[in-house]
Amino acid sequence: MTKIKTNKILLTVIILLIINSQSAVAQKNITLEQAIKIGIENNSDLKQVKLDIDKAEAQVKEVFGNALPTLDFSANFAHAIKKQVMPIDFEAMLMTAVYGVLFQENILEYDPSKFPKGNNFASLQLDNTVQAQLQLTQILFNSAVFTGIGISREYVKVSQAQYEAKKSDVTMNIKNAFYAVLYTKEMLEIVNVSFENARANLANVTALSREGMVSEFTLLDAQVRVENIKPMIKQLENAVASATDGLKILMNIPQTENINVVGNITYSEENLQDIDRIINQARNNNLNILTLEQAIKLTQASVAVSESDYYPTIAAFANYGYNAMSNSFSNWNTFPTSMVGLSFTMNLFRGFQTKYKTQQSKIEVIKAEEQIAFLKDAIAMQVRTNVNELLRIQEDIEAQRRNVSVAERAYYLSTVRFREGMGSQLEILNSDVALRQAKTNLLESEYNYVISRAKLHNLLGQR
């Protein structure tokens, strides 16, 4: 029975090792750069803005086509069921002409009764008519057409600016989510180290207890300390999983995909002394400001489109036609026609519509300029606040690093004193809590620093 039980245990261990190795293989390591790249590629909002860029580029080509010549072909066939007639009397016309000459030359004495009275109706139309025509038209001057080409190109630039601004926001959000995962993982590591310290301390206390060198209370206190840390580990493990799921959402990958966030929260001090230079950089490079400035150019171009109604349109045209007429389908009378020329059209009055349409476009330009001025002031305030926060954190980090070193030394001395019988279990507990708190404070400051730095880079138009 013992042999069978041993075999079952070995089989279970082998199965667990296989499962763990398979999950390790299936797990995908993700760096910050990879997370940003995947998130940008999968972001649905960015895909829509990219489609807007493609649409704008297609509109440029469409508008440019208005400046190219147009060639139209038309053809029709008509069969007259009841032909149109005109009041024409060829006999009366002939008699009037003959008698008119005779009376004028005094060959005959004038007699008005000789002139016929009444009309006869005749038709100049044949039963069947066929017409075909090619018409070539080329715009020589039309302000709306040429201005429209420029405004469509400005629309492309606006779409591109919106794409870059959205891309910068997506990058910042992914950075924040990525750093949140690293923060919870490093917090878990700090608690795990504290847990290992507690277990090592328990092992020492247990050994001393066997020798009768410590009381039962000290042993129980060491055991309680180990058990108290376990819920914190479980809570942080759940926090790591939740933060990772949040990152997956921003990367737009399935929640079932197993990823391992790779990296550390690294503190690198920024040069933040010249705050005026940083603010000017934000005013000049902030992507939201650049988007609005590009939108102003688009609105200014729309003013020119509205004013184009004041200008004429000049076009050249040429056409060639082929006509055929017949009373039967076997005998056709055919004749070609052709023509070239220029056309000039200009609106003289449209109820002041052009004036007020132009006025509305100019008002939109003024509104956009006001928005930019407000946005620049708001961003300058955000940059100033962000820089001051980063400078404060820089000072805190230096102090907290020294505090961690002191706490580590204190914990080491407390363990040495306890082994030598000079210290107490309470000293170890207090020094461990102080060390964990010092490491936590340092990690939290470094985390806040990288988050604030990512926001500052976003304000400066950087990624």
CATH code of the domain containing 359: 1.20.1600.10
Q: Euclidean distance between the first and final Cα of the chain, in Å?
A: 66
Residue 13 has what pLDDT? 47
Residue 12: per-residue pLDDT: 53
Residues 6+ apart with CB under 8 A from 415: 201, 204, 428
* Closest by CA position to 153, among listed 57, 273, 291, 68: 57
Residue 262 is assigned to a structural domain of this protein: yes
What are residue 264's phi and psi, to 5 degrees? -140, 155
Alpha-carbon distance 332 to 128, whole Å? 9
User: Does 190 fall in a domain?
Assistant: yes
**CA nearest to 418, candidates 192, 251, 202, 168:** 202
Contacts for 403 with CB less than 8 Å, ≥ 6 apart: 438, 441, 442
Helix (H/G/I), strand (E/B), else coil: 368: helix
Total tally of structural domains belonging to the chain: 1
Q: Are 252 and 231 in contact (CB under 8 A)?
A: no
Residues 6+ apart with CB under 8 A from 92: 116, 118, 119, 120
In Å, the largest CA–CA distance within the chain is: 169
Say which amino acid occupies 321.
G
pLDDT, position 124: 62
**Alpha helices in 211-326, H assignment, sequence order:** 216-251, 275-285, 287-307
pTM score: 0.72
Token digits for 53? 């860029």
- Asked if residue 12 is part of any domain, the answer here is no
Determine how many CB atoms are found less than 10 A away from the CB of residue 68.
9
- Kindly state the tokens that stand for 178: 């990525």
360 inside domain: yes
Q: For the purposes of burial, counting CB atoms within 10 Å of the CB of 111, is it exposed (0-12), middle (13-18) or buried (19 or more)?
A: exposed
35, 184, 245, 247, 365 from 177: Cα distances, Å: 10, 11, 9, 5, 38
Does 22 fall in a domain? no
Residue at 336 is within a domain: no
Task: Render each residue's pLDDT in the chain as its tens digit; 463 residues.
Answer: 454 544 555 555 454 555 454 444 467 899 999 999 999 999 988 888 888 888 888 877 877 777 889 999 999 998 888 776 666 555 555 566 666 666 676 776 766 666 555 555 555 677 788 999 999 999 888 777 777 777 778 888 888 888 999 999 999 999 999 999 999 999 999 999 888 888 888 888 888 788 777 788 888 888 888 898 899 999 999 999 999 999 999 999 999 999 999 988 888 888 888 889 999 999 998 999 988 888 888 887 777 777 777 788 889 999 999 988 888 777 888 889 999 999 998 878 777 777 777 888 788 888 888 989 999 999 999 999 999 999 999 989 989 999 999 998 998 898 888 777 787 778 888 888 898 899 999 999 999 999 999 999 999 988 7
Which residue in 261, 262, 264, 244 sits closest to 190, CA to CA? 264
252: left (phi over 0), alpha (psi -120 to 50) or beta: left
Instruction: Quote the crossing angle between the two packed helices 275-285 and 353-419, to the nearest 10°.
Output: 130
For residue 414, the enclosing domain spans: 27-68+142-311+351-459
In a domain, 76, yes or no: no
- Tokens 């902030």 locate to 286
Instruction: Tell me whether strands 259-261 and 28-30 are parallel, antiparallel or unpaired.
Output: parallel
Does residue 134 sit within a domain?
no
